[in-house]
Chains A and B, each alone.
Chain A
Amino acid sequence: MGLNAGYILKRVGFALVTLYVAITVNFLLPRLMGGDIADTIASEMALGSPEVAAALREQFGLDNTNLFYQYKQYLVQLFQGNMGVSYVNYPAPVTEVMLSALPWTLGTVLIATILSYGIGWMIGIKGAWKSGSLFDNISLFVSFFLNSVPYFWIGIIMIMIFSFHLDLFPLGKAIPHDFDSLSFMGKITTIIHHAALPVISMIIASLAGHILVLRNNLIRVLSEDYMLLAKAKGLSNRRRKYTYGARNALLPSFTGLMITLGHVIGGALTMEIVFSYPGVGLVTFNAILNHDFPLIQGAFLFIAISVIIANLIADLMYPIIDPRVALQ
């Protein structure tokens, strides 16, 4: 199968080193931004009082400005599973803030990513198999058009048509205000109702790339001699298309899928803003604007871990999809 212990150890070791580097960079990056959250709050809320700023600094654990001391504390806390307390969500822990936003992100971005790749691949395969057909030409035209349109435009157009004018979907948000009073089925239906436009818009906006990559790779694979041999041997269309063609053309698209899945946890900031939808993207964005170091660190750590895990899974799956990878 090509999957051996040496290969696995090498990949896992590389993932661990990457994780340590990511943790350290997570610590350093926010601190390079300048600005002091305690001063900002005191300036906005307390006439710039240095007494209030000092008290806030003590409350946030920022009274010791030694960077090495803070780094040591950060690592110790992290290994104990404690990501600290968010400044702007004070006194809520970072983990709680992240976990409250995560389900909305996974529910929309993850589903949209999987559906987008699935639909994109199916269209790409069909287009490549019947290259030059009406279907192929239309899918190419639509792909190029969608590829050149920014996501926020698609989102806004969908809101204006389906929400504002046709009134088929809500203007935004994840649930209605009376969500708590709904039955279980009512809750499920209303979540789907609210998530429909964000998910569909994300699918539409990302579909083109998946179609084009797989279509072009498959056209290249289909011109290989072994495909001609398979046809000469009388293998069925389905087997030639999927087992011989698509499987070999899939590797670059599979890499793209795994990278995208790793980034799912980072949320989709534009979607969250356009649809006023809760999620990790906006939490992270606001944390950066507010210089909320613990939350920035927590958010980027979540993202880093998910990217590393997704890459590790991809690395471990490559030899299964393409045995030549492990041999190389």
Chain B
Amino acid sequence: MIKNKQTRWLLSFSFTIMIILMIGCTTNNPAISSNNDSDGKIQFHLGETINPEQVSNFNPFLVNGNWQGLFEYIYEPLFYFNPVQGELMPVLAEELGTWSEDQKTYTVELLDDVVWHDGQEFSAEDVLYTFHALKEHKVLDQYQIWSDKRLNEVTADGNTITFKLNEKFPSLPFYLSTVEIVSKHSFDGEDPSTHLNKEPIGTGPFKYKSVNESAIILEKNADHHSHVPTIDELVVNRFNNASTLTLSLEEGSIDASTGTIAMPSIPKLLENSAAKMQVYPGLNVFSVIMNNERPGLDDEAVRRAIQLAIDRTTLIEKAEMNSVFPANPGFLPKVFNEMVDDALFENDAYQFNIEQAIQVLEEAGYTKNTNGIFEKDGKELAFTYNMASNAPAQNKEGTMITQWLQEVGIKTTVKLVTWPELTKLAMSGNYDLLQNGIEFPPDPQAALEVFHSKMTAPEGENTPGLNYMRFSDDDVDQWLDEASVADETTRQDLYKKVQNRIAEQAPVAVMYNVGGHIPYRVDNFTNYNEDVPVYSAISLSQVEPK
């Protein structure tokens, strides 16, 4: 009887294990990558964290409910801003546009022989529809190109599009790169601010095929005007976390991501000779944002001491695994090429130096109390340090920074809040120190106008722009106002003055510049174009299977 029972248990156990192994073995396992699917199609597997809320619509006008990265493959703008080279490239335009003599009219010639994915002909009417949609729906005009001082009229004559401006606006071409051109016939009769656009029709090198819980599948556009992709399908694999995505990359079941990767896994990933990493500067500067109106932080010496207490090299090496770019103490990131004052990056006055930080405070009349904290007039240098919860890398960096501040003699109390709360605190000015990224469009003027006094408000009121620091400097305002209508050479000089003033006054303490850190594999595909982001539509149009 006992023997029978033992046998029964043994049989049941063996049966269960067999079932598990059978499920595991008999199903086609999609995990291991191959260039080809069962039909012999060449598939490139991209991976990204795309949550359910990012496939609610495929409307490139909308800022939420979609994954913006997808539109690069399906739609095309007039120009593409290439962050690797920091330059504009014509896409739907023959070449970069031309300015009129008074700098108030910008003319763009459109490409001939462009067709939409459904076979209909692309025309200037589509461009007009796109820009008029922004004009008629304020919520869609995210960079306010139709504001009083900017666009006045967009007209078409044949293949020529003319942008007429109210005032000089030399940055216009940069903003044109942020607008994906949609087909008038697919949006006609729809409200572009609510249209779900479930079957997107673009002119891009890849056509929308399908979406499910696992992937968004695009197929090559055999009628593309410039470069018909070599791959048949671009499979954008959806993950909900960076760790699984990174494991898939290590395993080889995806060939690249558009930037997401579990930072601590980078060294291990790169041990594999098939794995590469492309790093380039970008349009987001992570910083310790300081409220320049708060007691203590209204003193330039204290802000300088905080700036000197941040070891940017260590942050980049230890926390960001060399996947971000060094930040400019004068704020403007390297992506803006000749507009950037390169000398500031290496300037000793702005490098990590704890002794120098202490000296700056002592020279400004601060003395250390018995707790080792600097104080002046009986008031300690003690601040609340806000950072995002549920952000491990950010929290690691925050811990390092607060430790360095402690070494200098500045006390901090860490407070973790959600990202939206962090934004709310920054906007209202209800904070001392705040660790966050400041993101801007591909326009150096917009990046530096973060420090214009017109972009701020007194504490307690929401800022009308990104000057969360409550920084105000008459010279900076004047230089930026002059630059906004100046020619390129003059702008370059003015921007350098602004950058030097920002570095000196330290309204923010920059940490690093986030652009692209793109992991990709070269064992299945070759011919990536590294002069542009390797995941970009331009590069993936050119990749070839090995």
A residues within 8 Å of B by Cβ? 33-37, 39-41, 43-52, 55-56, 58-59, 86-92, 97, 100-101, 104, 159, 162-164, 166-180, 189-190, 192-193, 196, 200, 272-278, 282-283, 286, 288-292
Does the CB pair A40–B420 fall under 8 Å? yes
CB distance from A160 to the nearest CB of B (A): 8
Known: A49-B142, A180-B210. Is A276-B244 also a contact (CB below 8 A)?
yes
B193 CB contacts on chain A under 8 angstroms: 59
Known: A49-B465, A52-B138, A196-B23. Is A173-B238 also a contact (CB below 8 A)?
yes
Question: In the assembly, what is the distance between CA of A219 and CA of B118, in Å?
Answer: 72
B138 CB contacts on chain A under 8 angstroms: 51-52, 55
Known: A104-B213, A276-B241. Is A40-B53 also a contact (CB below 8 A)?
no
B226 CB contacts on chain A under 8 angstroms: none
Does the CB pair B139–A59 fall under 8 Å? yes
In the complex, besides A86-B53, A175-B213, 7 extra interface pairs with C-beta distance below 8 angstroms are: A39-B423, A176-B28, A180-B212, A274-B244, A286-B51, A290-B419, A291-B418
**Binary CB contact string for chain B from 399 to 421 against chain A (1 if under 8 A, 0 otherwise):** 00000000000000000001111
| Other-chain residue from A58, A91, A274, A289 in contact with B57 (beta carbon distance below 8 A) | A91
Segment 1-56 of B: residues with Cβ below 8 Å from A: 20-21, 23-32, 37-38, 45, 51-53, 56
| Other-chain residue from B24, B137, B214, B465 in contact with A177 (beta carbon distance below 8 A) | B214
Question: In the assembly, what is the distance between CA of A277 and CA of B464, in Å?
Answer: 40
CB-based closest 7 A-B pairs: A168-B24, A35-B420, A177-B215, A55-B139, A176-B30, A46-B142, A92-B56
CB distance from A302 to the nearest CB of B (A): 15
| Other-chain residue from B245, B427, B440, B455 in contact with A39 (beta carbon distance below 8 A) | B427
| Other-chain residue from B57, B147, B240 in contact with A278 (beta carbon distance below 8 A) | B240
Question: In the assembly, what is the distance between CA of A24 and CA of B503, in Å?
Answer: 51
Does the CB pair A167–B32 fall under 8 Å? yes
**Binary CB contact string for chain B from 232 to 247 against chain A (1 if under 8 A, 0 otherwise):** 0001011111001101
Question: In the assembly, what is the distance between CA of A282 and CA of B238, in Å?
Answer: 14
B238 CB contacts on chain A under 8 angstroms: 173
Chain A residue with the shortest CB-CB distance to B421: A35
Does the CB pair A92–B213 fall under 8 Å? no
Segment 140-187 of B: residues with Cβ below 8 Å from A: 141-144, 147
**Quick check: is B115 within 8 A (CB to CB) of the other chain?**
no
Chain B residue with the shortest CB-CB distance to A291: B420
A275 CB contacts on chain B under 8 angstroms: 244
B residues within 8 Å of A by Cβ? 20-21, 23-32, 37-38, 45, 51-53, 56-57, 62-65, 137-139, 141-144, 147, 193-194, 196, 210, 212-215, 217, 235, 237-241, 244-245, 247-248, 250-251, 253, 390, 418-421, 423-424, 426-427, 439-441, 446, 455, 462-466
Chain B residue with the shortest CB-CB distance to A58: B139
Question: In the assembly, what is the distance between CA of A47 and CA of B64, in Å?
Answer: 16
Known: A33-B418, A47-B466. Is A173-B23 also a contact (CB below 8 A)?
no
A97 CB contacts on chain B under 8 angstroms: 52-53, 56
B441 CB contacts on chain A under 8 angstroms: 47
Question: In the assembly, what is the distance between CA of A266 and CA of B118, in Å?
Answer: 42
CB distance from B236 to the nearest CB of A (A): 9
B239 CB contacts on chain A under 8 angstroms: 172-173, 276
Does the CB pair B247–A46 fall under 8 Å? no
Does the CB pair A178–B423 fall under 8 Å? no
> Can you list 23 A-B pairs with a CB-CB distance of less than 8 A?
A35-B424, A36-B424, A37-B420, A40-B419, A40-B420, A40-B423, A43-B466, A48-B465, A48-B466, A52-B142, A55-B138, A88-B65, A90-B64, A91-B56, A92-B57, A97-B52, A104-B213, A159-B244, A171-B244, A177-B217, A177-B237, A193-B27, A289-B419
Question: In the assembly, what is the distance between CA of A39 and CA of B213, in Å?
Answer: 30
B24 CB contacts on chain A under 8 angstroms: 162, 166, 168-169, 193, 196
CB distance from A88 to the nearest CB of B (A): 5
Does the CB pair A43–B241 fall under 8 Å? no
Does the CB pair B64–A52 fall under 8 Å? no
Question: In the assembly, what is the distance between CA of A166 and CA of B30, in Å?
Answer: 14
A50 CB contacts on chain B under 8 angstroms: 462, 464
Does the CB pair B455–A48 fall under 8 Å? yes
| Other-chain residue from B45, B196, B423, B466 in contact with A91 (beta carbon distance below 8 A) | B196
Does the CB pair B31–A163 fall under 8 Å? yes
B426 CB contacts on chain A under 8 angstroms: 43
CB distance from A182 to the nearest CB of B (A): 9
Does the CB pair B214–A52 fall under 8 Å? no
A176 CB contacts on chain B under 8 angstroms: 28, 30, 214
Does the CB pair A43–B52 fall under 8 Å? no
Question: In the assembly, what is the distance between CA of A189 and CA of B24, in Å?
Answer: 10
B244 CB contacts on chain A under 8 angstroms: 159, 171-172, 274-276
B251 CB contacts on chain A under 8 angstroms: 164, 171
Question: In the assembly, what is the distance between CA of A40 and CA of B147, in Å?
Answer: 21
Chain B residue with the shortest CB-CB distance to A49: B144
Question: In the assembly, what is the distance between CA of A220 and CA of B321, in Å?
Answer: 58
Question: In the assembly, what is the distance between CA of A189 and CA of B26, in Å?
Answer: 9
Known: A173-B214, A178-B37. Is A41-B25 also a contact (CB below 8 A)?
no
Question: In the assembly, what is the distance between CA of A55 and CA of B135, in Å?
Answer: 13
B194 CB contacts on chain A under 8 angstroms: 91
A171 CB contacts on chain B under 8 angstroms: 31, 244, 247-248, 251, 253
CB distance from B179 to the nearest CB of A (A): 13
| Other-chain residue from A33, A91, A159, A162 in contact with B65 (beta carbon distance below 8 A) | A91
Question: In the assembly, what is the distance between CA of A104 and CA of B238, in Å?
Answer: 15
Known: A48-B464, A51-B138, A55-B138. Is A168-B30 also a contact (CB below 8 A)?
no
Does the CB pair A52–B237 fall under 8 Å? no
Question: In the assembly, what is the distance between CA of A276 and CA of B242, in Å?
Answer: 9
Does the CB pair B64–A87 fall under 8 Å? yes
Chain B residue with the shortest CB-CB distance to A159: B247
Known: A37-B420, A87-B64. Is A173-B53 also a contact (CB below 8 A)?
no
A58 CB contacts on chain B under 8 angstroms: 139
Query: Which of A39, A86, A200, A292 has the most B CB atoms < 10 Å from its CB?
Result: A39
Question: In the assembly, what is the distance between CA of A291 and CA of B420, in Å?
Answer: 7
CB distance from B170 to the nearest CB of A (A): 17
Does the CB pair B214–A179 fall under 8 Å? yes
| Other-chain residue from A46, A59, A200, A273 in contact with B240 (beta carbon distance below 8 A) | A273
CB distance from A36 to the nearest CB of B (A): 6
CB distance from A41 to the nearest CB of B (A): 6
Does the CB pair B20–A200 fall under 8 Å? yes
B210 CB contacts on chain A under 8 angstroms: 180
Question: In the assembly, what is the distance between CA of A179 and CA of B419, in Å?
Answer: 35
| Other-chain residue from A34, A45, A87 in contact with B142 (beta carbon distance below 8 A) | A45
| Other-chain residue from B144, B215, B420, B423 in contact with A51 (beta carbon distance below 8 A) | B144
Does the CB pair A190–B237 fall under 8 Å? no
Does the CB pair A286–B31 fall under 8 Å? no
